[in-house]
Structure 1
Amino acid sequence: MFASKLVICTALLMLSGSVLSQTLLSLKDAKIGEEHPPPETTTTFTTTTTKQTTTTTTTTSKPPTPDTTTTTTTPKTTSTPAPTTSTTPAPVPTTTHAPQPYPEPSVGTWNATCILLKMAAQFNFTYETKDGNYSHGLLNVPSNATIGDHVCDTKTIQSIELIWGSNTSVESITLQFTKKNDTVVMSQILIHFTVPVDDYPDAKEGQTIQMLHNSTGDFKTPEKMSYHCTRAQKLNMTETVDSKKEIGWISVSQVQVEAFLSKQANGFSTVHDCDSSETSDVVPIAVGIALAGLILVVLISYLCARRRSNASGYMSF
């Protein structure tokens, strides 16, 4: 009994499945086939990029419709960009400038009532270094130096002092003039200063230098005339007040000076130029030599001519 029921149920199921299959086939041939036709041509496109790979499968029917395209996209491959390497520019090398020459002195003008002075002065000195050796330095007399002590109340010796620097380190130069036989000369130069460690760091600290120059003929000029000289003149300063073996010199240029001025004077008197005074001695000597030579030539010519005339006279006899 159970077996017969099982057979009947199976038969019914097979019959239902056959009917359902026929129904589906009919529907497929009628309408559904137009929407989903069987694939005839399959074309596969593979696109490869640096970031992702896409595979596209297209099913084409007659005629193909957009709805028959099936796209399969692979997951994107995320790539980490390479780190950017920053390039630091190389440092620009600094240029070391050669040490500049010591500046030239500037011209200053000073009036001490009895002495009127205009000049540019620079002196070379010898100083002691920290290691016990000696070296040379340069120092200018500033054009804005002020007048310190000055002597005007004597008739034979007058002087003018120029000072500069700080109150604790006063630097000075003193020029002394002497009048004798209506002629004025600069008879002495005295320099006193402390070696500036800012300019000369190798110098022994607190070193004071004094240099002295004695003369009997510098800046020589007639009385009531001003001495003038444009070119630089070097005056040796080999003596010192404390008798140390320090050697130096002072260079003076653009000089115009007049001592023993009268109280009514308001400027320089007639100029007595150093170059004109030097050439005045040379010109007379040159003229004298030329005249002596000319006289000698005339005398020799006369003696030669007289000797020839005497010889011809003897030949006539």
Structure 2
Amino acid sequence: MEKLSIVCLLFISFSMLGSADVGKWIVSNQEKNITCLVVQMDIKVNFTYTISDNSTKNVLYTIPVNETAVDMTGSKCGEKDTLKVSWKEGNDFEMTFSSNGSLYDLSLFVVNLNTSSLFNDSLANQTVSVNYENESFGIPTNHSYHCNREQMFNATNGYLIVAKVQFEAFKMDNTQLFSRAKDCDSNITPDIVPIAVGLSLVALIVIVLIAYIVGRRRQQARGYLNIM
């Protein structure tokens, strides 16, 4: 049976806007001596849970990256690369990646939270599952996906909010380094480009119009002189 080696690396990333917890998780196949999956990101979950008086409460919860007791037993390399991280009395998140050979994608991103272990005002034995299933990345094989800005995914029972993201699945080497990245903004045309093009067209129209008016006036002036 193949042996699976799983490593969880944690670090704190700082930006000009403040500090953000960024986790880095590595899934490896020890027998084949390869690292198949590397995920790095800051994860927040926006969801609603029921409190003790039976009313509801909306919260923004940050997935902790500094938990001392983290279990990654459910992570695996295979036809589908999977990262599963569990912590503190029944809380976990799972990311599953699928591939068609030339492209791979995030096919499942689910966060399960035992609210009674996280919030003192929660009803007992309450679990909230925030589930996102929408293959929308389309990352070429042997490439990573990168996005520094915040992204919000509309999920079942809430929203998943990620930032400072970089991940690569179906790796076939023994390093924890990312391959060449497909950036989330690489196909987005900056707003300044269409604005500049529009202004250039307006300027061209104005120049043509002025040239036309000047030309007409010169023709009229020549006609007047000929009559005289």
TM-score, scaled to structure 2: 0.69
Q: How does 1:74-113 map to 2 (within 5 A)?
A: 106-112=21-27, 113=35
C-alpha RMSD of the superposition? 3.1
Alignment CA distance shift 1:175-1:264 (3 Å): same
For residue 122 of structure 1, what is the aligned residue in structure 2? 44
Q: Give the counterpart of 1:295 among 195, 204, 207.
A: 204
For residue 11 of structure 2, what is the aligned residue in structure 1? none
Paired amino acid for 1:149:
G
Q: How does 1:268-279 map to 2 (within 5 A)?
A: 268-275=178-185, 277=186
Structure with the higher helix share, 1 or 2? 1
Unmatched 5+ residue regions in structure 2? 1-18, 28-34
Kindly indicate whether the alpha-carbon contact (under 8 Å) linking 1:127 and 1:135 is maintained by their aligned counterparts in 2: yes
Distance across 1 between alignment mates of 2:193 and 2:105: 24
Distance across 2 between alignment mates of 1:216 and 1:300: 51
Distance across 1 between alignment mates of 2:52 and 2:149: 36
Paired amino acid for 2:46:
N
Bigger radius of gyration:
1
Deviations for 1:244-277, whole angstroms, at most 9, x for unmatched residues?
A: xx4x2222222211223234655101234445x2
Deviation at 1:206, TM superposition (A): 0.6
Question: Does residue 193 in structure 1 map to residue 113 in structure 2?
Answer: yes
Question: Does residue 224 in structure 1 map to residue 142 in structure 2?
Answer: yes
Q: Give the counterpart of 2:170 among 226, 235, 260.
A: 260
Distance across 2 between alignment mates of 1:179 and 1:281: 31
Distance across 2 between alignment mates of 1:293 and 1:183: 42
Distance across 2 between alignment mates of 1:283 and 1:225: 29
Paired amino acid for 1:207:
Q
Alignment CA distance shift 1:260-1:170 (3 Å): same
Distance across 2 between alignment mates of 1:122 and 1:225: 25
SS in 1 for 2:72: strand
Deviation at 1:205, TM superposition (A): 0.6
Q: How does 1:1-317 map to 2 (within 5 A)?
A: 106-112=21-27, 113-143=35-65, 145-150=70-75, 152-154=77-79, 158-165=80-87, 169-177=89-97, 184-197=104-117, 199-217=118-136, 221-237=139-155, 239=156, 246=157, 248-263=158-173, 266-275=176-185, 277=186, 280-317=189-226
Alignment CA distance shift 1:302-1:152 (3 Å): farther
Alignment CA distance shift 1:159-1:266 (3 Å): closer
Kindly indicate whether the alpha-carbon contact (under 8 Å) linking 2:144 and 2:166 is maintained by their aligned counterparts in 1: yes
Alignment CA distance shift 1:131-1:215 (3 Å): same
Runs of 4+ in 1 over 6 A off after TM superposition: none
Identity %: 22
Q: What count of residue pairs does the alignment treat as equivalent?
A: 198
Q: Larger relative CO (CA 8 A, sep 6+): 1 or 2?
A: 2
Deviation at 1:117, TM superposition (A): 0.6
Deviation at 1:232, TM superposition (A): 3.1
Structure with the higher strand share, 1 or 2? 2
Deviation at 1:279, TM superposition (A): 5.4
